[in-house]
Amino acid sequence: MSSSSFGKHASGATSGQTTVPEPSFAERARTLMHSGRIGSLSTLSRKQPGFPFGSLMPYALDDQGRPVFLISTMAMHTQNLQADPRASLFVTEPEASGDPLGSSRATLIGSVSRIPEPELAVARTVYLTRYPDSKYWVDFDDFSFYRMDVLDVYYVGGFGVMGWVAALDYSAAQSDPLAEHKSDIMQHMNADHKDALILLAKRFAGIEAQEAAMTSVDRLGFNVRLKAQDGVHGARIAFLREVTDPMQTREVFVEMVKQARQE
């Protein structure tokens, strides 16, 4: 899988290391939406015109990254959408630890409308795959599938990392191949290989640390939070090469540690 298939890279804004490659905001937003399950849907209130009305909203994603909803005509948000399709969907990083303001989140802005008959079968499959239990009410008369056609995306990756993502870039991006394994990789490294992280931080980020914790990992590298004598630092460390699965990730980590110990 080539890097071009994932879109351009963004610089390491979080660490000040502008030469360390990172996934683009479009890719990160797409990964976040893929990993998420529930968002906050804001519609325009019919009862109080001009005011946003927030609702907790499960969603699935189609192959273009468009959110798909299964909603009832009795729900206030559905009635709002029928009067005005303009809406936004706010999604935060699942299982985020620490300060929530330091975690990733994305806001998708677009028009939400009922999915036309010829496209219903695909939407149904996508949604039922994500939410198998919805099979118990998917065929109720008052439930219908709706979809957001994305107009714009705003991505926040943590403190000082934010920006608009064009809808076309978001649609063309792919979620990171490690998205499903990110939590397990981080848990393993932080529980069993803290010394290795300290070693890698010294060799590849130039920071002498007493403590190190991995805070994120993707196909191009990983981020660490480091506790050094002069305070706490964040750093981005690039992999020796792009990875696409946990096995490749482990192999690269082993090579990097080996390299660091030889110096």
pLDDT value at residue 99:
66
Alpha-carbon gap, residue 147 to 142, rounded angstroms: 16
Q: How many residues does the chain have?
A: 263
Phi, psi of 66 (to 5 degrees): -85, 130
pLDDT value at residue 199:
96
pLDDT value at residue 161:
86
| All structural domains of the chain with their residue ranges | 25-172, 182-261
- Paired tokens of 202: 């010294």
pLDDT value at residue 182:
92
pLDDT of 164 > 70? The answer is yes
Q: How confident is the model at residue 96 (pLDDT cuts 50, 70, 90)?
A: low
DSSP string, 175-224: --TTTTTHHHHHHHHHHH-HHHHHHHIIIII----SEEEEEEEETTEEEE
pLDDT value at residue 98:
60
- For residues 234-248, one letter each, b for 16 or more C-beta atoms within 10 angstroms of the residue's C-beta and e for the rest, the string is bbbbbbeebbeebeb
pLDDT of 152 > 60? The answer is yes
pLDDT value at residue 262:
86
CATH 3.40.710.10 fits 182-261, yes or no: no
Lowest mean pLDDT among 10-14, 86-90, 175-179, 227-231: 10-14
Q: How confident is the model at residue 4 (pLDDT cuts 50, 70, 90)?
A: very low
Token pair 């039922």 in the structure block, residue: 128
Q: pLDDT tens across 25-47, in order?
A: 999 999 999 999 999 999 999 99
Beta strands in the chain (DSSP E): 9-12, 17-23, 38-44, 52-58, 60-61, 67-72, 86-92, 105-114, 143-158, 161-166, 211-218, 221-228, 231-238
The stretch 98-125 carries a mean pLDDT of: 90
pLDDT of 219 > 70? The answer is yes
pLDDT value at residue 17:
43
Q: Provide the 3-class DSSP secondary structure of residue 241.
A: coil
Mean pLDDT of the chain: 90
pLDDT of 232 > 60? The answer is yes
Class of domain 25-172: mainly beta
The stretch 243-251 carries a mean pLDDT of: 96
Axis crossing angle, helix 246-261 with helix 182-192, rounded to the nearest 10 = 30
